Amino acid sequence: MSESTEIKKGLAGVVVDHTAVSKVNPETNSLLYRGYPVQQLAAEKSFEEVALLLWTGELPTAAELDDFVAFERSNRALEPEVKAAIDLLPTTCHPMDVGRTAVSVLGARHDLAEDSSPAAELQKAKSLFAQFPAVVAYDQRRRRNQDLIEPRDDLDYAQNFLWMTFGDAAHLEPAVVDAFRVSMVLYAEHSFNASTFTARVITSTLADLHSAVTGAIGALKGPLHGGANEAVMHTFDEIGIRAEESREEAAARAKEWMERALSEKKKVMGFGHRVYKNGDSRVPTMKAALEAMVDHYGRGELMGLYDGLEQAMEEAKGIKPNLDYPAGPTYHLMGFDTEMFTPLFIASRITGWTAHVMEQRGANALIRPLSAYNGPAERSL
């Protein structure tokens, strides 16, 4: 094999493999899941339907959906052993550590752990989909000294997730459930992003699905990727959220903050994207969901901060927001602690990761690039 010396730092612009799971097209600013525009899916489909679409390549028939919904509803409860493992972790650790540990425990306990046949992989993906919300919900509650809430099988995925976290009727109001469902659909899949690529690298060694998802969670945690939704909220907090303020006043303070941050050469999380250079295809849909939450909770000043930062970044650098930008304040308004935002991203992205694990396994080649050595020349001891 001849060694190429051209280095593509960060693999930017490198096409590594085919995928039929999704198509990100920065030219048309579109995102298709298995051929369907994500905006249409977000408007019309449940997250359960979108998960099946990503895994199988087609939207489910009514009977297929019924089967999956029944499976999901009967596998939602937090297993006592997983709860025990979570309880061993301090509440001072990051909730992403809890999510990562829980997936690892779930893998070690799964009957099909070492079976990587297509049927077993799909079964494990469905199990993780069903089991993960209880991990996030319980972790959120224990950090507030609240007891675990059992799932309800009369609720769909999005409703039940909110129920297990908050246990009140206010979070089952259609406006809240819908914004949450939209966020799950939009976060589900995005081709060869860093965490999905991590999952594919791990799968390429023929390791098991839960190992791939555990590694993917590690990659998602960083603020250059999924951790940005949390970081966005820290920015809002640093600027200061003042409920009594008008939208215009909040926007003016946010603009000032952004101008100062950029003059200090700071990177502001929630802006920019490796692939989209002219705006993230998912942002308009997520921004509409955020606006619905702002109206629902009567919190116009938050939209002032949002607009002020966006405008100042656009004016100074022409850099647009990514999906994490509207998602962060949406989860904040719903009442999640800031550190829980990226675990919510996990709950959604489990679908895309596992679809890619199955695709990688179906046409595998070990992922092992080359490096150009630039250390000391050979020397003797």
Ligand X SMILES: CC(=O)SCCNC(=O)CCNC(=O)[C@H](O)C(C)(C)COP(=O)(O)OP(=O)(O)OC[C@H]1O[C@@H](n2cnc3c(N)ncnc32)[C@H](O)[C@@H]1OP(=O)(O)O
**Residue 224 contact among ligand OAA, ligand X, none, beta carbon within 5 to 8 Å by kind:** ligand X
Residue 95 token pair: 């909730």
Question: How far apart, in Å, are the Cα atoms of 117 and each of 5, 123, 214, 287, 352?
Answer: 38, 10, 19, 40, 18
Rounded to 5 degrees, φ, ψ at 226 are: -65, -30
Binding pattern for the stretch 193-232 against ligand OAA, x by CB under 6 A and - elsewhere: x---------------------------------------
d(CA 350, CA 336): 20
CB of 193 to ligand OAA, least distance (A): 3
User: Which positions from 302 to 341 touch ligand OAA by CB under 6 A, shown as an x/- string?
Assistant: --------------------xx------------------
Question: Is 273 a known active-site residue?
Answer: yes
Query: Which of 270, 304, 326, 329 touches ligand X by CB under 6 A?
Result: 270
Question: What minimum distance in Å lies between the beta carbon of 245 and ligand X?
Answer: 25
| Nearest by Cα to 313 from 369, 359, 261, 360 | 261
Binding part of the chain for ligand X, among 15-23, 261-269, 299-307, 359-367 by CB under 6 A, reads 261-269
Q: Are 230 and 289 in contact (CB under 8 A)?
A: no
Q: Is 155 in the site for ligand OAA (CB under 6 A)?
A: no
Rule CB under 6 A: say whether 274 interacts with ligand OAA. Answer: yes
Residues in the chain: 381
Token digits of residue 20: 């039929």
Which listed residue (7, 175, 224, 243) binds ligand X by CB under 6 A? 224
DSSP calls for 42-53: HHH--HHHHHHH
Residue 299 contact partner, candidates ligand X, ligand OAA, none, CB within 5 to 8 A by sort of partner: none
Which residues are bridge partners to 37 per DSSP? 32
**Placement of tokens 């339907």 in the chain:** 49
Residue of 190, 210, 324, 332 with catalytic role: 324
Nearest to 160 by CA among 350, 363, 313, 347: 347
Report what 268 binds from ligand OAA, ligand X, none; CB cut-off 5-8 Å by kind: ligand X
Question: In the complex, what is the shortest distance from the CB of residue 52 to ligand X, in angstroms, rounded to a whole number?
Answer: 23
Stretch that binds ligand X, among 34-42, 81-89, 149-157, 322-330 (CB under 6 A): 322-330
Return phi, psi of residue 39, to 5°.
-65, -40
Q: Using the minimum distance from each CB to ligand OAA, give the nearer residue, 262 or 275.
A: 275
Q: Which of 190, 300, 317, 195 is nearest to 259 (CA)?
A: 317
Among 190, 221, 287, 332, binds ligand OAA (CB under 6 A): 190
Per-residue interface string for the shown chain with ligand X, residues 154-183, x marking contact by CB under 6 A: ------------------------------
Smallest separation, CB 214 to ligand X (Å): 18
* Shortest separation between residue 359's beta carbon and ligand OAA, angstroms: 16
Tell me which residue of 90, 76, 276 sits closest to 160, measured CA to CA.
76
Residue pair 235/254 in contact (Cβ under 8 Å)? The answer is: no
According to the binding rule CB under 6 A, does residue 225 interact with ligand X?
yes
Q: Are 32 and 23 in contact (CB under 8 A)?
A: yes
User: How many Å apart are CA 295 and CA 274, to the nearest integer?
Assistant: 32
Name the nearest CA neighbour of 361 among 208, 182, 172.
208
Beta-bridge partners for 271: 321
Nearest-approach distance from CB 286 to ligand OAA, in angstroms: 11
Site for ligand X in 279-298 (CB under 6 A): none
Output the six-digit token pair for 286.
């997520």
Q: Establish whether 67 is a catalytic residue.
A: no
Evaluate whether 20 touches 34 at the Cβ level (below 8 Å). Answer: yes
275 belongs to the binding site for ligand OAA (CB under 6 A): yes
By CB under 6 A, name the one of 60, 272, 304, 343 that touches ligand X.
272
Candidate list 210, 273, 332, 356, residue with the active-site label: 273
Footprint of ligand OAA (CB under 6 A): 190, 193, 273-275, 322-323
Positions marked catalytic? 273, 324
